[in-house]
């Protein structure tokens, strides 16, 4: 059995439609109008034990709603899910001790108290034996390089330090499933890298099952081999991360290094010129036209170096979302 399985999950909300103007507002007291919003629509996927899967989508796509369903915070309108053989929204105590949810924009630590006080509260909640608690806390604070900061009030910590404390709190009870919702949002490059390195090491060591949502493609590329992409509440892709570019990008990038003194002239006839600095040029070309363009360029110019690359994953995914959101789709 998969560790996490969603079957036709759907979550809808009734949203009150407020009309402009005083008279319309007064009328709304007596006759309210609602519209139905589908946050998640017929979502199905399965994640095996020990997998680390990226769950991607634009803002409002349904990512956080899906994680809330899988953690049991909210009930579905229809559909089923199982996490560690539990139905999440039944909220069994034995289930809650086996998973963790970390939300980058929500704090679980007491703002005015040192992080170590919140950790002690977690020890009581999860009934962790003292010796085991001390061992885990020592290991996690060492790995995340915050051992000297646990006695400082949380409000005095930087954003990156607070996120590392949040991860410690989430992992103290050794969960088998970890749901991460934007864990590096707002962090600087160094803090992002520390979190990435820790998650990669910890997941490999403990073989826990992880779902990661992030808008930072460097997080995704560094940590995940598989991606589930959701937009407008529906899954658009579920498969290897490496397949996304091949499946959704219609272009490749040709990099050219012209010989010294060679004038490249106008290269727009070959494709979209992305960059032209001295003898170096980058051109975006339709995938099927790459052989033809390369043949023409090599016959017409003296080229010292040439390379063909896929477009960046971040660009391809952003284009996917734009195309899906288009009114013509």
pLDDT of residue 325: 52
Domain count, the chain: 2
Q: Supply the CATH number for residue 95's domain.
A: 3.40.50.300
The crossing angle, in degrees rounded to 10, of helices 189-206 and 130-143 is 130
pLDDT of residue 250: 86
pLDDT of residue 78: 95
Q: Which residues does 108 contact at the CB level (< 8 Å), separation at least 6?
A: 102, 118, 166, 169, 170
pLDDT of residue 70: 96
Within a domain: 89: yes
Say whether both 302 and 169 belong to one domain. no
Q: Which residues of the chain register pLDDT less than 70?
A: 23-30, 323-329
pLDDT of residue 324: 53
Task: Decide which of 245, 276, 302 is a domain's last residue.
Answer: 245
DSSP characters for 237-257? EEEETHHHHHHH--EEEEEEE
Q: Bridge partners of 239?
A: 227
- Determine if the pTM surpasses 0.95: no
Within a domain: 219: yes
Q: How far is CA 171 from the centre of its chain?
A: 19
CB 270 within 8 A of CB 297: yes
Say whether both 172 and 101 belong to one domain. yes
3-state SS, residue 2 = coil
Say whether both 104 and 209 belong to one domain. yes
CA angle, corner 54, sides to 49 and 59, nearest 5? 140
Question: Which residue segment(s) compose the domain that 275 sits in?
Answer: 251-310
Say whether both 272 and 210 belong to one domain. no
pLDDT of residue 5: 96
pLDDT of residue 328: 39
User: Measured in Å, how far apart are the chain's first and last C-alpha atoms?
Assistant: 36
Q: Bridge partners of 306?
A: 256
Say whether both 93 and 240 belong to one domain. yes
- Please identify which residue in the block is written with the tokens 């975006």: 284
DSSP characters for 165-227? HHHHHHHTT--SEEEEESTTTT--HHHHHHHHHHHHHHHHHH--EEEEE-S-HHHHHHH-SEE
């Amino acid at each position: 059995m998969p560790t996490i399985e969603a079957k036709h999950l759907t979550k809808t909300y009734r949203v009150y439609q407020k009309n402009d103007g005083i008279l319309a507002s007064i009328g709304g007291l007596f006759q309210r109008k609602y519209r139905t919003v589908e946050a998640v629509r017929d979502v199905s996927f399965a994640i095996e034990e020990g997998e680390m899967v990226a769950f991607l989508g634009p803002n409002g796509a349904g990512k956080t709603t899906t994680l809330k369903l899988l953690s049991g915070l909210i009930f579905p309108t229809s559909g089923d899910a199982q996490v560690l053989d539990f139905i999440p929204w039944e909220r069994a105590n034995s289930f809650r001790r086996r998973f963790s949810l970390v939300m980058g924009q929500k704090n679980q630590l007491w703002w005015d108290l040192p992080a170590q006080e919140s950790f002690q509260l977690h020890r009581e909640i999860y009934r962790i034996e003292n010796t085991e608690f001390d061992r885990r806390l020592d290991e996690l604070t060492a790995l995340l390089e915050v051992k000297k900061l646990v006695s400082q009030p949380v409000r005095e910590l930087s954003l990156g330090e607070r996120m590392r404390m949040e991860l410690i709190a989430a992992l103290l009870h050794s969960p088998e499933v970890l749901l991460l919702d934007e864990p590096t949002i707002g962090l600087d490059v160094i803090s992002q890298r520390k979190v990435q390195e820790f998650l990669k090491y910890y997941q490999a060591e403990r073989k826990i099952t992880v779902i990661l949502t992030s808008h930072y493609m460097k997080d995704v590329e560094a940590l995940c081999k598989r991606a589930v992409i959701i937009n407008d509440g529906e899954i658009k892709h579920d498969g290897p991360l490496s397949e996304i570019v091949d499946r959704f990008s219609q272009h490749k990038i040709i990099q050219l290094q012209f010989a010294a003194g060679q004038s490249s002239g106008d290269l727009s006839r070959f494709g979209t010129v992305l960059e032209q600095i001295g003898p170096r040029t980058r051109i975006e070309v339709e995938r099927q036209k790459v052989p033809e363009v390369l043949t023409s360029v090599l016959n017409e110019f003296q080229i010292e170096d040439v390379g063909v690359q896929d477009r960046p994953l971040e660009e391809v995914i952003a284009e996917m979302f734009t195309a899906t959101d288009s009114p013509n789709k």
